[in-house]
Structure 1
Amino acid sequence: MKSMHVKAFCQLLAFSLLGVSALALAQDGKMYPIDAPDEPTAIALNTGGVDGQEAEESWFRQWGDPMARNISKATLTPVLADPAKANGASVIVAPGGGFMWLSMGNEGWEVAEALAAEGINAFVLKYRLQPTEPTLDAFETQMNQRFAQAENATDDEEAPKRPRWDLSDQIEDVEAAYAMILKRADEWKVDPARIGMIGFSAGAGLTMATTLESDKVDLAFIGPIYGGLNAVEVPADAPPMFAAIASDDFLFHGQFGLISAWHEAGIPVEFHLYQNGGHGFGLGNPDRTSNKWFEAFMHWLDVNKFLTESTQ
């Protein structure tokens, strides 16, 4: 397994959880239960269940977006580019949600559709989550308690209230997704040398954890979007990185450690700090400068020749 700085990783995860708190549980962000949507193209990854999971997978809607929780069986949903436009580049998309739910709409399916429209094969990863309470009201109480712990946490790695999580299940889900994409590369018109991963909030944390810890996933590029920015120990073979966050995101604390670490390691990195956009903006919210991040990401992929097959 690739090594990393334990304290920095714990900070990154804590900030990823803290980052969803105000958006997800604000008074004007009421949760409404919904029936599970049809996912006819979702493929089971068969990576096992979740210890302590008793409640069944359930869905709710918030801010108009479908959210899933109590996920104990990971799936991968291919959103393939039109063959006439496909360029072979492919991206695993990891939604966020503090590892307790997944924002499947604005940070999953919508992003995948946008990538596919640009000729990029996208694969939405519905990864396993930590167990939560069966009822939505109890879940909201549970989340408020968890966020209070995160908000009271300090940078001291000995602080007793800092959330510390084992992401081995979630990394295993990424590894299974990556293996499946490689196995079906010919069928899906995937160039194995140009498979990247993009994640949002906690999904950005999972993207980073996979990059730093897994020796079974060889990503060509990564895109952590509004994730934690604490410094980490960068592996020598780490991929180029595109990162973006808004300055009014309460997850951003004026820290640039992650960006500096990539730069100091001599690995290509592009960083966009937007004036506004808050947290959880997905592809964008009205009248925010962060709305241009996807165009910038596509330009970065193009300039770095990830959208064209290598002739070497």
Structure 2
Amino acid sequence: MNTKIIASLVLLMAVFQLSAQDEVIKLYEGKAPGSEDWNWEEAQRYSELFQTEVVYNVADPSLLVFKPENPNGTAIIIAPGGGFQTLSINREGIEVAKELASKGVTAFVLKYRLVHSKTDKPAQELMENLKDRAAFDKNTVQIKNLAGQDMQAALKYVRDNASKLGVNKQKVGVIGFSAGATVALESVLRSNSAATLPNFAASLYGGPSDDLMAQDIPKEIPLFIAAASDDQLKLAPKSIALYTKWLTANNPVELHIYAKGGHGFGMKTQDLPVDSWYKRYEDWLKQYKYID
């Protein structure tokens, strides 16, 4: 098949997937605080390197809303991963939202602020940046803070508009993948208001910084954790450390470490036990009465 035709089909599929959302909510009026001078435009493309659709150059944070046919009052905000330079918008965002909506959850995919990509190949830029991990971690401190603020703004929006959204203010959770796990945990460990603190959380193959891990857990917040032992970024121990932190604080926590699955498995099908992680997550949600 002609490569131009294939590219057009991929674009049409992306548009179709995004059209399944119910609405898009802009998180801030005017420019987002802390990035007022950002003037680049958000973009989306298929990444051959990551083999999935990615969003990049997010300067105007927003929520993609997915409403269930029979809402049960639970809301979950999803933070896709992508190294703070991209968002794996389908595999760790839209597909997760659709699954949750099928269970009665009002789901939100968060497009949080990212490192500015100077080319139309953000995944390649990310991999180049990761070659010097110490420099990468130093250069992304500001972005992590801004992305954490975006998650808190999202939580506040959902609670402020709970009646309109058909959401119970006491049943608002977060789930994050990879870099998105850090974004989710920022709301748990750095929130200074009940309005921006989730009621429950989940971390998928995350790698929170030592600084974030040093923060106290503010209250009894149930946490679900999943990762793979063969994670290419060697982040499985971070999930174990996160589990230990919650356990030591006598907080409810559940950990699943799969033998295989790699990093970034999300909703990808690999014909491995890890493919069913979201079923275990749904079992966990049932345990706490967040889904039926």
Range of TM-score over shorter length: 0.7 to 0.9
**CA displacement at 1:140 relative to structure 2:** 5.3
Between the aligned partners of 2:242 and 2:45, the Cα distance in structure 1 is 33
The corresponding residue for 1:127 is 112
- Aligned with residue 205 of structure 2, among 226, 230, 238: 226
Between the aligned partners of 1:281 and 1:119, the Cα distance in structure 2 is 24
**CA displacement at 1:54 relative to structure 2:** 4.3
**Aligned-residue RMSD, C-alpha:** 2.4
Q: Which amino acid aligns with 1:68?
A: V
The corresponding residue for 1:8 is none
* CA contact 1:211–1:238 (8 Å) conserved in 2: no
The corresponding residue for 2:82 is 97
The corresponding residue for 2:53 is 66
Between the aligned partners of 1:161 and 1:300, the Cα distance in structure 2 is 34
Q: Which amino acid aligns with 1:173?
A: D
Q: Is 1:144 paired with 2:144?
A: no
User: Would the alpha carbon gap of residues 174 and 162 (structure 1) be closer, same or farther in structure 2, given more than 3 Å must change?
Assistant: closer
Between the aligned partners of 1:180 and 1:254, the Cα distance in structure 2 is 33
Bigger proportion of residues as helix: 2
User: Would the alpha carbon gap of residues 67 and 162 (structure 1) be closer, same or farther in structure 2, given more than 3 Å must change?
Assistant: closer
**CA displacement at 1:238 relative to structure 2:** 4.7
The corresponding residue for 1:45 is 27
SS of residue paired to 2:261: coil
The CA deviation string for residues 132-176 of structure 1, in whole angstroms up to 9 with x for no partner, is 10x225x455323311012xx4xxxxxx67435123321221122
Between the aligned partners of 1:117 and 1:253, the Cα distance in structure 2 is 30
- Aligned with residue 259 of structure 1, among 232, 243, 249: 243
The CA deviation string for residues 168-203 of structure 1, in whole angstroms up to 9 with x for no partner, is 321221122112211221122101101000010100
SS of residue paired to 2:170: helix
Unaligned runs of 5+ in 2: 1-9
Between the aligned partners of 1:259 and 1:295, the Cα distance in structure 2 is 20
Between the aligned partners of 1:280 and 1:288, the Cα distance in structure 2 is 14
The corresponding residue for 1:156 is none
Q: Is 1:242 paired with 2:234?
A: no
Q: Which amino acid aligns with 2:290?
A: F
Between the aligned partners of 2:136 and 2:147, the Cα distance in structure 1 is 23
Q: Which amino acid aligns with 2:107?
A: A
- Aligned with residue 101 of structure 2, among 116, 119, 124: 116
SS of residue paired to 1:148: coil
Pick which of 181-190 and 71-80 moved more: 181-190
Q: Which amino acid aligns with 2:27?
A: L
The corresponding residue for 2:181 is 204
The corresponding residue for 1:28 is none
The corresponding residue for 1:295 is 279
**CA displacement at 1:269 relative to structure 2:** 0.3
Q: How many residues align?
A: 264
The CA deviation string for residues 41-100 of structure 1, in whole angstroms up to 9 with x for no partner, is 1111116343663432221102553211111001111111113xx211110011111111
Q: Is 1:187 paired with 2:164?
A: yes
Q: Which amino acid aligns with 1:302?
A: K
Identity among equivalent pairs (%): 31
User: Would the alpha carbon gap of residues 260 and 109 (structure 1) be closer, same or farther in structure 2, given more than 3 Å must change?
Assistant: same
Q: Which amino acid aligns with 1:228?
A: G
User: Would the alpha carbon gap of residues 148 and 269 (structure 1) be closer, same or farther in structure 2, given more than 3 Å must change?
Assistant: same
